[in-house]
Structure 1
Amino acid sequence: MNISCKSSGWYPEPNVTWMSDERTVLRPGGVSRSRGADEMFSVHSWTAVSHSDAQLVSCSISLKTGEFRESRIDIQAVISSDPWKALFFTLLICALLGLTGLILYKYRHKLTGTIWLKDFCDDESTERLTKEVVEDNIEELRKHAVQITIDPEHSLPDLRVTKDRKTVRDAPGYKHTGEGFPYELCAFGAQRFTSGRHYWEVDLARENTPPKNYWLIGVAEHGNFCLKNRSAITPSNGYWFLCSDGPNGIYINSDPPVTLSLTPRPEQLGVLLDYDHGQLSFYNVKERKHLLTMSSRFTGPVTPLFNPGVEDLSPLTVLDCPKPVESPVESSQPLLSNSSEA
């Protein structure tokens, strides 16, 4: 059974936790976070549970201040009930979490409390949950930077790749004859990852040119080089990405896709792959803010995934990340100065 949890109107950015029968931490099928024009955060998460493995499933949304709210659903009761009752439970969860977001918006300056994780989970679960906190410090992310190049061996004739294997765009004269986004124009990174944290940045705008409207950036299981249609490139088939499809908006390739409200449109996108914890995060580098994180489980080598789309003046360029700026080392010698009184 697939269960979805949505909530809007949070400040600051919240975390989402799924629990089964109050003891087992469930790995979410995906988590997306976005920020609206009102500066408030929205979150959408989903997970899948077996009919026989769980009875009570809870979705908790929390802030770093310690405040959290939770809604639960009795899986067995829903299964044995009629469809109208199942619909009622779904609407109830959405209504409760939406109300919580509104309350936290009005009183966000008064929120205080202790860290609730230690009271709610055992030590092992607490450690796992705290590792899901997403970094938004670009300098810290760049400490995990890797050099990414495009693999020419798996580039299609309809793609034009520069000699340094950093820039890709649709070839001159290419005409997209299908409907929707041209998924067949994907290019793959030459690097493979099986563990650790890896970060890279992609430029989506040339100087004096509007940001690209069409692009696709993410990762794919190594060997998945054949892309034919949208229905085949899902996380269950080894693809995880964020896609900008012009007037159709920006979305992640969940099943079904989740459309995001990302403003302004990114000019430079940062990608953090945390292989060991099954997370793929995206950042607006120029705005220096986290956009969203997808959660999954990687079971084999994965490689960066790029698609420049069509009908854009700007190409897609993989950047060489600048070295992170190190803080000056403070001297261990005492500072001598004339004493003065206020």
Structure 2
Amino acid sequence: PYGDDAYYRHRPTLGIKPNKLRKIDDHFGFNPDMSGMERLFKDGKMAVFHGCGYDQPSYSHFTSMAYWQTAAPNSGESLGWVGRLADALDPNVTANYLVNVDATQSLAVVAKNHVPVVFDDPKEFGRKGLFNSRPLLDKDRVATSNSSQAQRRLLELAKSARQASEKVRSACENYSTPIDYGIAPLDLNKIAALINADMNTRLYYTSFRRNAFDTHVQQPNLHQRLLTYFSDAVSGFFSDMERIGRADDVVMLVFSEFGRRVAENTNLGTDHGTANNMYLIGNSVKGGHYGDLPSLTALTDGNMQHTTDFRQVYATAISGWLGLESHEQVLRYRFKEFPVFS
């Protein structure tokens, strides 16, 4: 927020000078190397939501991430919001409807009915327990009238797992693209391959893994490098969607578990904070700024006061993009949506 003098008062060393930013208006600018994000915003394909957070914020990575992944702060909710969304959108439980690209399953995709496809390396993809039991399952893969419900369910899962692993491997092996996703594609290239293969998937979930965004010390160079990786991967993904003719079919939601404290610390870094930005990106998005800007001077214990409940952005995507009008089925409560989708 180069247009706010308080930014430079709080960050006299870390604050990026106006002449080095990629300015998008008279108040905000992107980090110097985020050319991809700058282009998406200026093309009107990015909605930026300001001041996103929740009441009684946690400064623990694990606790706060659990709150964002369940969309249920301070509740003990065991199901993920994306998993609940899959159950609400597809009560018939279509195979491969929900995909999580990661080494382990995220809490966000834990569902009551849907079993998400979870993979990291497509060549090694397979549910380990079921794979080890494959000879037995192949021998008895036809359920009989005497089979118990648990046995039939196990056989169904085994069949689904084998089919999913074959589809994922084939999709990724057969996909090639001239598009540059940058140094760290963030698994978005794998998602592009599955979209190109016309999987039954409607919901994809992935994360910036093994990242070092927790910049308590020596923030400038590392932070800029990580933001560059992110910007290049996201812009590369949308360029790839344009190339294969699927750009109108995709919207990306971006979030983090919390922001950073307003003032820099004595180690040239920033500590855990509260309010944060969220993004919705895609051809169908009405680009621009949404939500009230949190004050950089009226702080609580050095942190901004959130102005937007992060679930408002979830609700906007659920109802506005995915077409589930009663988003309280997923989020438990009714939230005011933003006018992002026509």
User: For this structure pair, what is the TM-score category when the shorter chain's length is used for normalisation?
Assistant: under 0.3
Greater RCO, CA 8 A, separation 6+: 2
TM-score by length of 2: 0.23
Greater Rg by CA: 1
Higher helix share: 2
